[in-house]
Amino acid sequence: MPIAYSRKNFARFQSLIALFLLCLALSVLSDKFLSFSNLWNVMRQISVNICISVGMTLIVLTAGIDLSVGSVLALCGAITAGLLKNGIELPSQNLYIGFTVLGAILAGGLTGSALGAFNGWAITRFNVPPFVATLAMLTVARGLTMLWTGGFPISGLGDTFLFIGTGWFLGIPVPVWISIVVVALAVFLTDKTRIGRYIYAIGGNESASRLSGINVNRVKIIVYTIAGALAAVGGIMVTSRLDSAQPNAGISYELDSIAAVVIGGTSLSGGRGSILGTVQGAIIIGVLNNGLVLLNVSPFWQQVVKGLVILLAVIIDKSNGKNE
């Protein structure tokens, strides 16, 4: 059936087509859009959302959700910045531990992984719905960030650390490299490994997966841990780019991330979707943000437009699902 076939192909590429049309329109409307400096700027901004959205995709594929990524991102960035700048001082023990850049980054990454693992543990051990467990973590991690920073930004982190967020490598910004590596690893995980297959199977039918001998709880904990670690990566990138860990960094990032996942065609009920779809979704949101700014659209209207785009994307995706 050639018609059905071409229709299916169209569905597969429609977000790419949408992206192309969006870029085309923006380059006609704004002479600034199609400049190298602007494009790299967009890419750099997008790379944070790509990192956390990759983690979100894995979770959504298991039919879960993670609302805590924004707060976890802020906490991990703050911990990395704090350790790098101040180290750990224990005056009573007459002890001071200094951190190298690598050490501080590892500590941030471990924090993110631990919080993610905690999410997964709470969800699987106590059967708490992911929405609730990660909503709790959203508040907890934000509170911890405030405690750690005392409510003030931690700034002045040194040139080596700034390289992560602002440096260039082989003519491409470092954050873009980082997101490329993250995406490549995630594609490998989902397409080539057992755990990737289990993620799809659990999201598609948890009961059948459990009966097939899959350790469903273990897979879920792993997935939430990965998402936490990727939130940390995002937090370190944001902190480095601004040369400052802001206590209120990452607020509402979970919404942009979920939007990227959904626009990318991943089903919120699990089992269906892809990492590369999410990447497209994140790029569409990023380009849209950038374009609306370039066109001097009021920030209030920007939010309205973004919301409607998300809704439209899901409606189109649903109607494709019916055609399958």
Quote the least distance from Cβ 267 to another protein, whole Å. 9
Taking each helix axis from N to C end, the angle separating 36-61 and 174-192, rounded to the nearest 10 degrees, works out to 30
Question: How far apart, in whole angstroms, are the C-alpha atoms of residue 69 and residue 35?
Answer: 32
- Helix ranges restricted to H, the chain: 2-29, 36-61, 69-86, 101-125, 130-149, 159-166, 174-192, 194-204, 206-211, 216-242, 253-263, 275-294, 299-323
Q: Which CB, 117 or 195, lies closer to another protein?
A: 195
Going by the DSSP 8-state scheme, the letter that residue 103 receives in this structure is H
Position 210 contacts another protein (CB under 8 A): yes
Judged by CB under 8 A, which of 209, 239, 246, 274 binds another protein? 209
Judged by CB under 8 A, which of 6, 100, 160, 215 binds another protein? 215
# binding residues, another protein (CB under 8 A): 22
Going by the DSSP 8-state scheme, the letter that residue 270 receives in this structure is S
Judged by CB under 8 A, which of 37, 93, 94, 207 binds another protein? 207
- Binding to another protein, residues 288-307 (CB under 8 A): none
Instruction: Please report how many Cα atoms fall inside a 13 Å half-sphere around the Cα of residue 282, on the Cβ side.
Output: 29
Judged by CB under 8 A, which of 88, 95, 208, 293 binds another protein? 208
Span of 16-24, 44-52, 207-215, 311-319 interacting with another protein by CB under 8 A = 207-215
Instruction: Give me the residues paired with residue 90 across strands.
Output: 95
Evaluate the CA torsion angle 243, 245, 250, 251 in order and state its sign: negative
Q: Which CB, 68 or 190, lies closer to another protein?
A: 190
Position 200 contacts another protein (CB under 8 A): yes
| Two structure tokens written together for 310 | 């998300």
Span of 130-138, 165-173, 210-218, 227-235 interacting with another protein by CB under 8 A = 210-218
Position 322 contacts another protein (CB under 8 A): no
Binding site for another protein (CB under 8 A): 188, 192-194, 196-198, 200-201, 204-205, 207-215, 271-272
